[in-house]
Amino acid sequence: MPTTQDLLQNAGHSSQESEFFNPMPPGYVPGRHKYVVVVGTVMSGLGKGIFSSSLAKLLKDKGLRIAPIKMEGYLNIDSGTLNPYRHGEVFVLDDGLETDMDLGTYERMLDQNLTKDNYTTSGQVYRTVLDKERGGGYLGRDVQMIPHVTGEVKYLLRQLAVRQKADVVFVEVGGTVGDHENAFYIEALRQLAFEEGEGAVCFVALTYVIEPPALGEQKSKAAQLGLKKLMEAGVQPHMIAVRAQNAVQDAARQKIAMFSNVPVDRVFSMHDRASIYTIPDAMRHAGLDREVLTMLRLHGRVNQAMEDEAREQWAGFVRKLISPRKFKTKIGITGKYASLRDAYASIDKALEHCGAHLSSEIDVAWIDTTKFPPAPEVVAEQLRGFNAVIVPGGFGVRGTESKIACVQHCRENRIPYLGICLGFQMAVIEFARHVCNLEGAGSTEFDRETKHPVIDILPEQKKIEGLGGNMRLGAQDVAIKADTLAAFLFAERHQGTEAPRNQGPIPSMPRSLDASVPILIHERFRHRYEVDPKYIEQLEAAGLIFSGRHPQQPIMQVLELPRPVHPYFVAAQFHPELTSRPLRPQPMFMGLVAAAIAHAHPDVPAAQISERWLPFVQPEPAAV
């Protein structure tokens, strides 16, 4: 009689002899790849992505290859059409996939670029199954949730492991145990653990301890019931992370351990902290990384020298992060989703990275431009006291006139400014109206009959219809013009060169680079509209510098004002916040924060702020 393993190995098709449907991707070797599965109980939004990415970082530091994947329960094919109030910001990957914001957490924590293989939704899974059914891929079988849909989930995970040569695949299941929409994921993972065998899959459950103010103690009953729901699904957790406002007390940890059959030293207090970047060290001190290595039998794959180096680098960043700051700055972010910080999560994190590296305590103020008119006196009051302003990306006409008024205020009052995507377009419109005197200049996104459409839809996209189907998405090359602020910003990303100290008003290119050859950078886009090429010459003649362009086409992608006309006025059609990392902060944000420090502390010598960013913080005479 064939064993279960024999049936699984030969279950690439359906037949009368076997009820298994378990196709294996080419090159998959059982036992080579391990899995850590993170699920949530009690409620959503507990921070599964933060826990999972932090634990994944600890294993990557040890020299293991990590491949995370977020599995969402909704039927949308991707996150592109979701309102930020539903799931936070849309995070765009290099290959153009629009994903959940948790993918940004993984990229920042692991310092690696992810792909479409690292993200899936129920909609994607069902579409794949139905396409196979229409193509006769199931050989006449009636297609069911088990084994076909669950089989597809297992195939996706194993395929990810093979494609990314992962030692460990981290699987984060969206939502909460007990939700109908993710039940088939949990069943598939139960099957995966059974098929892969002991020591191959580690289940981690996030739960929540309630601390009602009226009682003055932590209550774990909801956590116990949530964990019971997971075990009813056939999954025994190996580790539990407990979310709470304050450190979880021993009594609560012991109760949770007893009712979940998990040793108490594997019940981790994931209470609120000043920064998520302190969590990996807290996990390491609790020994969670060693526990996972033991459960998955991975001690033999650890590279100790690599871990020592990675720990020291991260410790240096964390020291900067938690040390008292030398400077204080206030930066305003103008957007129509200002009441939800998750809508601009990557911007928030990019500023956090820069604040640590430049020793600046950044007071981030969120300004809803839909709540006030574009009158100059109103805008001046709204922006009073800010040392820098960011106009982020977005779609739709709401609040755009007030954004344009904010850009004008920053330009005329020499307040450091960074425009992102829509903020780039707002800067072009403002300059066209008030410097080029193109009355009524605007974007055809907001007014199809605008007198001067300086911003228009991408010419190559005009024939494409359907929301979400006509955007430029993903990473593309941008050619940065020599001897510009943008060239100075991105110099260190080009061939690993360091930009020299510069004493003049305009940063120069590194001497090791040919000034006649533009720097090529690779940045992520998510937009439909561009600067209309017929207005470029007029805008440049009036003093606007397009310092970043498409390498072949007349498509403008970075703009700036020269110094000393303005201390720091830069905007990008792409989303620079998506590529900021804790150890490698994004250059455009670093320049902005350095300029904000100089604006807030005009009497502090520039060299005390940052030698690297000296050109942006040198005192200069105001433009005449």
Query: What is the set of active-site residues?
Result: 421, 575, 577
Q: How far is CA 97 from the centre of its chain?
A: 12
Q: 517: exposed, middle or buried (C-beta count within 10 Å: 0-12, 13-18, 19+)?
A: exposed
* Contacts of the segment 393-396: beta carbons below 8 A, 24+ positions apart: 393/420, 393/421, 393/422, 393/423, 393/526, 393/527, 393/575, 394/335, 394/336, 394/337, 394/421, 394/422, 395/422, 395/445, 396/336
- Residue listed under structure tokens 């189907």: 469
What are the tokens at 386? Answer: 């800010």
d(C-alpha 595, C-alpha 597), whole Å? 5
Helical segments of 34-181, H only: 48-61, 84-87, 102-110, 122-134, 150-163
The single-letter DSSP state of residue 146 is I
Residue 98: phi, psi to the nearest 5?
-95, 120
| DSSP assignment of 161-224 | HHHTT-SEEEEEE-S-TT-GGGHHHHHHHHHHHHHH-TTSEEEEEEEE-B--TTTTS-B-HHHH
d(C-alpha 420, C-alpha 523), whole Å? 12
- Residue listed under structure tokens 């000043």: 274
Neighbours of 15 (CB within 10 A): 12
What are the tokens at 582? Answer: 């804790």
| DSSP assignment of 396-450 | SSTTHHHHHHHHHHHHHTT--EEEETHHHHHHHHHHHHHTS--TTEEETTT-TT-
How many residues make up the chain in this entry? 624
Contact status, residue 580 vs residue 592, Cβ threshold 8 Å: no
d(C-alpha 507, C-alpha 501), whole Å? 8
d(C-alpha 160, C-alpha 165), whole Å? 8
d(C-alpha 540, C-alpha 332), whole Å? 28
- Residue listed under structure tokens 């005192």: 619
Separation in Å, CA 340 to CA 43, 235, 348, 368? 19, 35, 11, 10
Contact status, residue 533 vs residue 550, Cβ threshold 8 Å: no
Of 441, 472, 467, 452, nearest in space to 557 by CA: 472
d(C-alpha 258, C-alpha 59), whole Å? 28
